[in-house]
Amino acid sequence: MKAATSMPAHPHLRLDRLKRHYAGAPAPAVASISLDLPRGALLALLGPSGCGKTTTLRMIAGLEIPDDGKILVGGRDVSRLPPHKRQMGVVFQSYALFPHMTAAGNAAFGLEMQGVARADRARRAQAALEMVGLGALAERKPRQLSGGQQQRVALARALAIEPQLLLLDEPLSALDAKLREGVRDEIRALQQRLGTTTVFVTHDQTEALAMADLVAVMNGGRIEQLAAPEEIFERPATRFVATFVGRAARLSGQLEPGGVLRCGGQALRSTATLPPGPAEAYLRPHRVRLLEAGAAPPPGHDNLLEARLTRRIYTGETIALETETAAGPVTAELQAGQDGPWRDLPTGAPLRLAFRAADLAVFPAP
Amino acid sequence: MKPSWMLRLCAAVGFAILLLPGVLVLIVSFSAGEFLTFPPPGLSFRWYAALLSNAQLMTALGTSAILAAIVATVSLLLGAPAAYAIARLEFRGRGVLAAMLAAPLLLPTLVLGLGLLLVLQPLGLAATWPGLVLGHCLVAIPFAVRIMTTAFAAVPKELEAAAWTLGATPFRAAVRITLPNAAPGAIAAAVLTFLVSFDETVISLFLVGPRLSTLPVEMFRYAERTADPLIAALAMTLIAFALLMVVLVERLIGFTRAIGRD
């Protein structure tokens, strides 16, 4: 695991070797999770289903008791506290709104449990609903609200208690694609305005990269990499991160001293400092520069591959050109409007691909 | 799939066999004659009038109604927590508890009645209100537990988890969140346990006394002595009452949903 840089001495949330093994399960859901999250930051737990991200979130909320390890919030150990003593605002995947209460009743419930006086909690519940743009629908029951509106009520209910932490379990997964982006940006804006330290569980890398200050990529109950979104995407720390986040061409070969990767008769330069041996390099499509056959590479691009076009995939915003090279299949990606010169290229046409040494993420072969 | 004419015919015959006696009783209850005969010599409301002026049966009706209300209340108060435990909590012996609570339904009521008499007589509880309540609860509580278990299980667990995270203790979450959402089941359980007690005959036969008797027992005794259409009028009144309750539950929440079948 690669540690995130420049953490303050007193993180708001600290997970210390957290572990959870469900009875009867062959492997622990969470094997060992440690991380620090500064106050006001948004952490995304990103990973495939079964990677332990939801179990981690539920342990932070107190809905799951860790077998081992500690959860510290503001320096205080809350690992053994029941959920009702933790003051954490949780937005469930299903929203879990109370069907027999109005939106206002839902938003006021936490305050009522805290013993806030009736008039005061009505005012604060209304303020929380207005914050998510639902002030006018306070008297509606959940079933009278759309999915997006229910999601906002769930958010308002979680924020009304002024939580120590805001915990979101796949909060956008039940919304349709069009709505998702808008709600995503709203949640982020609100979180930044309130400065609420937040943990967000998702299997959607775009969501994680767009919203988070820090992303923890999880796999098999462990954190593969904990870093800022750019770092995760541009400099994946492990093979898993390189393949799970974004797309990448895989070039297998033999790593030689000096970071040279022998691959299908080609010698590719990399910045790898691994010991020599069998290795795999991952190359992101947006890093590949397309050149006409015989053209000279632009400065700084140490690697040059001869390629033949095999397929062109048009998705509107991006155009992917799949090619075959001596080192293996490599995809180059162009933004819409920049594919002019390559638009009418027939299948099988010769091309040149150029990329920098630093564009190759090299890992030992499995 | 559309049912075939064969199936429709069988269903029609089945319903006819089930409902025909009721129709006969309905007609006889409006008899103008002195005896339980079919066809009646003429039609009148005289036996309904006679029913209202029969002090013994009216007293028994009052006893049965109050008894049924108490039994429904007690069954719900005791059955709901037990049902909650079975539906929600994980503990050793949960299966055993569920089986024990269903056991009274499997025993013949004759055996239960005799057993109750043997236990309650020495305690001085035979032919008393507490004795009757106890005996009726024994058969009513399993119904309450069964219905409430289904009702609690149908409320998403996540709702309670959400309440906990908002600061509710497990008890407050159960009372404020799960219970209100299981209310249709509670209404159904109340109605059903009321009817179970109201109709209970065999156990009552063992536990009533000369000064405290329930309607089914008095009906039974009346029918043994007399053969006039009064008993048919009473039977119709009770059927109408039971139907009214079922319609009420159906209107409020849907009966099949309330007893936990889809």
Range with top average pLDDT, A157-166, A179-188, A345-354, B19-28: A157-166
- State how far residue B88 is from chain A, nearest Cα, in angstroms: 15
* Residue given tokens 């997964």 in the structure block: A173
Mean pLDDT across chain A: 91
Give the closest residue to B64 by CA, choosing from B201, B189, B187. Answer: B201
Q: Please give the pLDDT value at position A2.
A: 42
Candidates A55, A109, A155: best to mutate against B (most CBs of B within 10 A) is A109
* Chain A, nearest residue to B179 by Cα: A100
Whole-number Å distance between alpha carbons of A229 and A251: 24
Task: Label residue B261 by pLDDT band (50, 70, 90).
Answer: very low
Q: Please give the pLDDT value at position B258.
A: 54
Whether pLDDT at A313 is above 80? yes
- Mean pLDDT over B223-236 rounds to 89
* Residue given tokens 């000096």 in the structure block: A258
Whole-number Å distance between alpha carbons of A184 and A198: 13
Q: Please give the pLDDT value at position A343.
A: 80
Q: What domains are defined for chain A?
A: 2-242 (3.40.50.300), 247-364 (2.40.50.100)
* pLDDT tens-digit readout, A91-104: 999 999 999 999 99
Residue B56 CA, distance from chain mean position: 23
Q: Please give the pLDDT value at position B262.
A: 40
Whole-number Å distance between alpha carbons of B132 and B138: 10
pTM: 0.82
Range in A82-91, A192-201, A262-271 the model is least confident about: A262-271
Q: Please give the pLDDT value at position B255.
A: 58
Whether pLDDT at B217 is above 90? yes
- Mean pLDDT over B212-241 rounds to 90
Burial class (CB in 10 A: 0-12, 13-18, 19+), A120: exposed
Q: Please give the pLDDT value at position B254.
A: 67
* pLDDT tens-digit readout, A284-310: 999 999 888 888 888 888 899 999 999
The dihedrals phi and psi of A201, each to the nearest 5 degrees, come to: -100, 130
- Mean pLDDT over B228-245 rounds to 89
Is B167 in Cβ contact with A89 (below 8 Å)? no
CB nearest B165 (choices: A83, A98, A99): A83
- Mean pLDDT over B51-60 rounds to 92
* pLDDT tens-digit readout, B75-102: 999 999 999 999 998 888 888 888 888 8
Candidates A97, A113, A124, A150: best to mutate against B (most CBs of B within 10 A) is A113
- Mean pLDDT over B230-250 rounds to 88
Whether pLDDT at A198 is above 80? yes
Q: What is the DSSP string of B9-24?
A: HHHHHHHHHHHHHHHH
Q: Is A100 on the interface with B (CB under 8 A)?
A: yes
Task: Describe the strand order of the beta sheet including A249-256 as a list of residue ranges.
Answer: A266-269, A260-263, A249-256, A277-283, A360-364
- Mean pLDDT over A70-86 rounds to 95
User: Are residues A52 and A218 in contact, defined by beta-carbon separation less than 8 angstroms?
Assistant: yes
> What amino acid occupies position B15?
F
- Mean pLDDT over A321-325 rounds to 93
> What amino acid occupies position A299?
P
User: Are residues A289 and A353 in contact, defined by beta-carbon separation less than 8 angstroms?
Assistant: yes
Interaxial angle between packed helices B55-88 and B183-199, expressed in degrees from 0 to 180 and rounded to the nearest 10 = 140
* pLDDT tens-digit readout, B145-199: 999 999 999 999 999 999 999 999 999 999 999 999 999 889 889 999 999 999 9
